[in-house]
């Protein structure tokens, strides 16, 4: 996830919260932030979604611009095993 926190900070924070929700739906992620044009993360360790949410709710320390980075910890399978079995039943037999 890369969300620019620029121009209208409140709108960007809302967008970041929506992206965070979508990222959680796709799997377990950890997050970190680069403020402005810095070349280093603001946190020494990656944060869980709730920590990022709290940071965003608190106004993101008033940072005028920056990027939120996400890294995947574990993914959520897109297909449930019962659906996989159903699909295998439909596959052509050899």
The string of pLDDT tens digits covering residues 5-48 is 444 445 688 888 888 888 888 889 899 999 988 999 999 999 99
Report helix, strand or coil for 50: helix
Residue ranges of domains in the chain: 9-90
Answer positive or negative: Cα dihedral of 64, 61, 23, 29.
positive
Tokens of 9: 């900070």
Quickly state the pLDDT bin for 64 (edges 50, 70, 90): confident
pTM: 0.68
Comparing 55 with 10, which gets the higher pLDDT?
Answer: 55
């Amino acid at each position: 996830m890369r969300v620019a926190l620029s121009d209208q900070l409140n709108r960007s924070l809302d967008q970041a919260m929506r992206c965070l929700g979508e990222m959680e739906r796709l799997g377990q992620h950890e997050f970190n932030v680069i403020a402005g044009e810095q070349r280093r993360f603001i946190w020494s360790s990656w944060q869980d979604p709730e920590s990022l949410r709290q940071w965003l709710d608190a106004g993101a320390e008033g940072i005028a611009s920056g990027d939120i980075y996400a890294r995947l910890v574990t993914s959520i399978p897109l297909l449930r095993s019962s659906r996989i079995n159903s699909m295998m039943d439909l596959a052509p037999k050899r």
